[in-house]
Amino acid sequence: METFAFHLMPYQDVEEIDERHAAWPWAEYDYDPEKGAKYYDDYLGQLEYAAELGFDGVAVNEHHYNAYGLQPSPNITAANLAGRVGDTTIAFFGNLPALRENPIRLAEELAMLDNITEGNIISGFPRGIPSEYLAYGIPMEESRSRFEEAWDLIVKAWTADEPFDWDGEHFQYEQVNIWPKPYQDPHPRLWMPAESEESLRFAANKQIPIGLVFQPVETIAEKFDEYRGYADEYGWTPGDEHFSTMRAIYVADSMEKAREEAEPHLRKFYRTLTAGVHIGVTAGMMGDQPWDPDKWDTYVDELHPHGELAYNYDFEKFQDYGETIVGTPEYVVEELKRQYEVVGGFGRIVGQFHFGDLPDWKIRKSLQLYAEEVKPEVDEIGGVNPES
């Protein structure tokens, strides 16, 4: 099994949300560029350190108007990392093609990065959560059709042998013929998160590897099985390499120390940053943007199930669900083995090793322990061996 180190790159200096303090889009807060510059320096350095330790990949993603993640352009993050991480894979979990007014530009930038890294790119294209559509003023009801059209347009731009015209529902171009072409043949490796029937069918039909995040292990098992069923309908059989799962991971010398060091930062991640996005989205979907403090209880009552879990964050519950894996190296190995068996196999663990306001020294200590005492055993789990 491969291990990737994933980073949201949050802005840490926001207070725990309640009816007095802002949720997404964090309109009551002033952005401090001195702090922001320091966060970027720390976060990029942490991913560089993971590459030095021998992680199989580092992973970035995209969010907008958001203290939850300071990466409105993950391509900029990846371009910076390309000069830092050598031949370590850089994965996008991911870019949001449905938000682009010009998906061709996205195809060009990713092809360029694929050349710069000599093919060490995984291109992830999520459909995107509602906050991203609210931020860019794109109707959520258009999200799926925009996503699927942009996906097909980008892949064709990467692979077409000659210039082509495109006359779609959302995008129209004449004489598309990008330079550079991707380094990988026929295009960068692809990946997408998928939970709904539509997304699972879309991915299975195209034989695209999938992943799931922020879900109990039993839910992941159900969704992976659903994908396997659709793949069977389309006449093929997925292997471990078609599945990834993301978990928040923290490693320490004892179970007590791991919880003591990680729990307050997990609470910041879930209770403030994650729940803040969910409440802001709920407000936005109700037509309130920024949110209305007088409607706080209504927003909370209407939260998405994961938003409700995050708002009522409980360490034991998240550990039981398997969404967080906090403990000794032995515990982390055994829990990943257990989850592998429960879901029927996956080939990549995407570790969210930084969360909330976790300080630099803690993530580096956890990354080192994982690399030295967990990863060698995780490498041997399942049908994807990073050394082969």
Segment 31-65, tens digit of pLDDT: 999 999 999 999 999 999 999 999 999 999 999 99
User: What per-residue confidence (pLDDT) applies to 94?
Assistant: 87
User: DSSP letters of 308-370?
Assistant: HHHHT--HHHHHHHTSEEEE-HHHHHHHHHHHHHHHT--SEEEEE---TT--HHHHHHHHHHI
Distance CA 212, CA 373 (A): 25
Assess if residue 60 is contained within a domain.
Answer: yes
How large a percentage of the chain has pLDDT more than 70? 100
Q: What size, in residues, is the chain?
A: 388
pLDDT at 121 over 90: yes
Taking Cα atoms as reference points, which of 126, 106, 104 lies closest to residue 59? Answer: 126
Distance CA 117, CA 78 (A): 10
Q: Helix (H, G, I), strand (E, B), or coil: what is residue 132?
A: helix
**Residue 246, CA atoms < 13 Å, CB-side half-sphere:** 22
Is this model's pTM higher than 0.75 or not?
Answer: yes
User: What per-residue confidence (pLDDT) applies to 290?
Assistant: 77
Segment 192-238, tens digit of pLDDT: 999 999 999 999 999 999 999 989 999 999 999 999 999 999 999 99
pLDDT at 289 over 80: no
Taking Cα atoms as reference points, which of 267, 272, 269, 263 lies closest to residue 356? Answer: 269
Taking Cα atoms as reference points, which of 270, 285, 170, 257 lies closest to residue 214? Answer: 270
Segment 306-331, tens digit of pLDDT: 999 999 999 999 999 999 999 999 99
Tokens 């049908």 -> residue? 383
Structural domain boundaries enclosing 360: 1-64+239-388
For the chain, give the mean pLDDT. Answer: 95
Q: What's the structural domain count of the chain?
A: 1
Residues 6+ apart with CB under 8 A from 360: 42, 45, 46
Taking Cα atoms as reference points, which of 72, 11, 17 lies closest to residue 280? Answer: 17
pLDDT at 114 over 90: yes
Assess if residue 324 is contained within a domain.
Answer: yes
Residue 41 buriedness (CB in 10 A; 0-12 / 13-18 / 19+): exposed
Taking Cα atoms as reference points, which of 47, 73, 51, 52 lies closest to residue 62? Answer: 73
The dihedral over CA atoms of 44, 273, 374, 237, expressed in degrees to the nearest 10, equals: -100
Segment 64-78, tens digit of pLDDT: 999 999 999 999 999
List Cα–Cα distances, 256 to 106, 259, 315, 328, 352, in angstroms. Answer: 45, 5, 13, 9, 20
Distance CA 270, CA 262 (A): 12
pLDDT at 96 over 80: yes
**Residue 73, CA atoms < 13 Å, CB-side half-sphere:** 9
Q: What are phi and psi of 47, to 5 degrees?
A: -70, -40
Assess if residue 344 is contained within a domain.
Answer: yes
- What is the chain's alpha carbon radius of gyration, rounded to the nearest angstrom? 20
pLDDT at 388 over 60: no
Distance CA 368, CA 191 (A): 27
Segment 136-193, tens digit of pLDDT: 999 999 999 999 999 999 999 999 999 999 999 999 999 999 999 999 999 999 999 9
Assess if residue 11 is contained within a domain.
Answer: yes
Other residues' Cβ atoms within 10 Å of the Cβ of residue 31: 11
Q: What are phi and psi of 280, to 5 degrees?
A: -60, -40
User: What per-residue confidence (pLDDT) applies to 366?
Assistant: 98
Assess if residue 298 is contained within a domain.
Answer: yes
Residue 83 buriedness (CB in 10 A; 0-12 / 13-18 / 19+): exposed
Assess if residue 296 is contained within a domain.
Answer: yes
Assess if residue 46 is contained within a domain.
Answer: yes
The dihedral over CA atoms of 40, 274, 228, 124, expressed in degrees to the nearest 10, equals: -30
Assess if residue 47 is contained within a domain.
Answer: yes
- What would the two tokens of residue 100 be? 């682009």
